[in-house]
Structure 1
Amino acid sequence: MRTAAVVLRAVSQARPYARSRPVEVEELELGAPREGEALVRIAAASLCHSDLSVVNGDRVRPLPMALGHEAVGIVQETGPGVARVAAGDHVALVFVPSCGFCERCAEGRPALCPAAAAANGSGGLLHGPSLLRDAAGRAVNHQLGVSAFAEYAVVAQESLVPIPADVPFSVASLFGCAVLTGAGAVLNTAGLRAGQSAVVYGLGGVGLSAVLGARAAGAGPIVAVDPVAAKRELALRLGATHACPPEEAEESVRELTGGGAAYAFEAVGSAAVTAACLRAVGRGGTVVCVGLPAPDRTLDTVPALAFAGEGKSLVGSYMGDAVPRRDIPRFLALWRAGLMPVEEMHSGTLRLTTPEVNQALESLADGTAIRQVIDTSGLLTG
């Protein structure tokens, strides 16, 4: 079948992206679902900084690639052997499938599944190579097994989590990446408890989701840090007790917590911010790294004495250490209870066109947008 999809053919740092247009909406041929796969009509797809990182080359991926990894949709048909979903199901798409059998999956850390990592790195799907072809018949790679900036996508059943049909698509679209990663880092990786202090550096979709997770955990104080005033104001509406620009963070956190936070969450993808987080936590504090830095960045300004001498910890969190089939329903329940108002992060809705998608990438790059939602197939507007 044919589907319109956003395709990146070469990395670009030429901004503004609205002018340089690094991506194009192309008509692609999409193969039928194989064993273990399902065809999904994409209803809403959100732009994430990880998409921008592929465009600008910070995340090296095989090109050409059909972009998009944070989305929801409706299952249209299934291939042989599919038991997790059925035609008509509303589903959240998850950018890390899992085999279910390896050591990482068995210990409850499916986001670290080696088979999924290999499939995602190859540009294929968990059950086979790419199903996308361009007008010349050449293969186009899948982004993280999803490629959701499109009208339709074929994905592994392991990348699909059924969700209630009454959850608005524009809301549900944020739960497959931003909420899993940010709130998961707080509630799963850190295990933040009521009354513990937290500071979040970087207030994009993931950082703001970490603020929501800290609020849901009953943490306090919750300090939100970002250079953009509008993002700090939004963080306060979402549950942060205090907000400040980066240059004021260290002193503010010390004053508010009596010496340093129990936890700091790095949601920028910056080695320098990781070092700032280590300074912001107190003795025995923990820094949780959530953001993805460029692969050539190194931690060369971290005092080694912070660990054995002050009992501090530095831990990584990939996809919030989430178990998607457990955590997406769990976080949606928090949304229903009013504890995760993710709709506040919705910066706007756009159509699946070349000009609008490139403008949305620029809005993400310049920091003016949090989560922009693509109405990929007209289901949001009817």
Structure 2
Amino acid sequence: MNTTISRAITAAVVRGKGAPFTLEEVNIREPEGAEVLVRVVATGMCHTDLIVRDQLYPVPLPLVLGHEGAGVVEAIGPNVTRLAVGDHVVMSYGFCGGCSPCDHGHMSYCKEFFGRNFGGSDADGKCAITDRQGEAVHDHFFAQSSFATYAISTEDSAVKVPKEAPLELLGPLGCGIQTGAGAVINTLGVRPGSRFAALGAGAVGLSAVMAARVAGAAMIIAIDVVPERLALAMELGATHVINASHEDVVERVRELGGGGVDYALESTGRTEVLRQGVDVLAGRGTLGVVGAPPLGHEAAFDVNDLLLGGKSIRGIVEGDSVARDFIPQLVELHRQGRFPFDRLVKFYDFEDINQAAEDSERGLTLKPILRMAR
């Protein structure tokens, strides 16, 4: 039973389009129903946080962002059955659990996905956070809003992980890392001996490179314009790299792959790169699309190339992952040394959140992780 109405926490609040994050003392209510209150240990920063800050996705302000949180369960609602106080969890995306896609195990395509992850409130339109003036601050971003010292999540969206795992490292498994790895393993189903190309070698693309290696791809091509990222890609499992600012991507991939690749993944959100992704496919190849441009952007491709080549284009959300199953699998692969995603991250103190955002946007840091005060 809840003994308090709310507790004081610190949160990074965005109050205007493109405004900096400001650390504020706010209040968060106690968990209700099937909710859990998580003391956030660390949280990743993702490109999606920044495009919402800049209002390329229309989430209401003021708002607490953050959607790659990891922490410890501090309190549970009365309907929680699978989690307990003290459990270590990684928080992932929200879903309703009752629509047709959810019933068939495709939670990342939940009919309420946009509202539950980008709506700025719970399913009833209520916020869990209020500022010092008692005004609501929008939250429930990806069922968590983890740019805060505490976050309300749901039991379905909080994934229990082993206590011996490095909790402060695990938050990005809830979105960016699971997206890249899941696209390769769950969606594309990359086969041993196959040819794979990652168009974009950011955190998502490099996660895909590592997953392609786990899957046994014989050729793994990483494509980017940043030499340091391409060098890291070689260390993480790429067999070839292409600097898109120096080489013709389509021509070079076709040369390396003997006509193209079996699978490709576009993670840049640039429509011209998506076109390259279609063009680098060999016959009956599949392009996965995870990069998100601003809403309303359209891409073009040669219809006859798609048709006569039997090619496929597949949109992918959250790597088609059932987070409760997939995140522990990635934790185990990391423990075995087969999925070293720790190579992608740089830690920042929570109060340095704006520096982390700037470094991410400038391409200096692949995956920032904000550590809360101990």
TM-score (norm 2): 0.94
Q: How many residues align?
A: 365
Q: Which residue of 2 aligns with 1:187?
A: 185
**Divergent runs of 4+, >4 A:** none
Q: In terms of mean alpha carbon deviation, does 96-105 or 320-329 score higher?
A: 96-105
CA, structure 1 residues 339+226, in 2 after alignment: closer, same or farther (shift >3 Å)?
same
Partner Cα separation in structure 2 for residue 288 and residue 268 of structure 1: 12
Match of 2:283 in 1: 283
Q: In structure 1, what is the equivalent of residue 298 of structure 2?
A: 298
1:253-276 per-position Cα deviation (integer Å, ceiling 9, x unaligned): 112110001111001111111001
Extract unaligned runs of 5+ from structure 2: 1-6
Q: Which residue of 1 aligns with 2:3?
A: none
- Among 137, 140, 159, the alignment partner of 1:140 is 137
Q: In 1, Cα distance between the equivalents of 2:260 and 2:183?
A: 19
- For CA contacts below 8 A with separation 6 or more, give which structure has more relative contact order: 1
Match of 2:9 in 1: 3
In the alignment, the residues of structure 1 paired with residue 239 and residue 163 of structure 2 have an alpha-carbon distance, to the nearest angstrom, of 34
Match 2:84 to one of 86, 106, 120:
86
Distance in 1 (CA, whole Å) between partners of 2:143 and 2:63 is 11
**Who is 2:257 aligned against?**
257
Give yes or no for contact 2:99–2:110 (8 Å, CA) kept in 1: yes
Task: Point out the more displaced range, 238-247 or 67-76.
Answer: 238-247
Give runs of aligned pairs for residues 1-382 of structure 1, distance below 5 A. 1-12=7-18, 22-94=20-92, 96-126=93-123, 129-142=126-139, 143-247=141-245, 248=247, 249-299=249-299, 301-346=300-345, 348-353=346-351, 356-378=352-374
Among the aligned pairs, what percent are the same residue?
36
- SS of the counterpart of 1:158? coil
Q: In 2, distance between residues paired with 1:114 and 1:188?
A: 20
Deviation at 1:126, TM superposition (A): 4.6
Q: Deviations over 1:159-195 (max 9, x none)?
A: 1000001111232122111221000001111011111
1:39-71 deviation digits (Å, cap 9, x = unpaired): 100011111111111122222211111010002
SS at match of 2:22: strand
Compare 361-370 and 98-107 and name the one that shifted more.
98-107
SS in 2 for 1:311: coil
Cα RMSD (Å):
1.4
One-letter amino acid matched to 2:284: G
Q: 1:146 deviation in Å?
A: 1.0
Amino acid in structure 1 at the alignment position of 2:269: G
Q: Which residue of 2 aligns with 1:17?
A: none
Tell me the TM-score normalized by structure 1. Answer: 0.92
Counterpart contact for 2:186–2:319, Cα < 8 Å: yes
Paired residues of 2:178 and 2:321 also in contact (CA < 8 A): yes
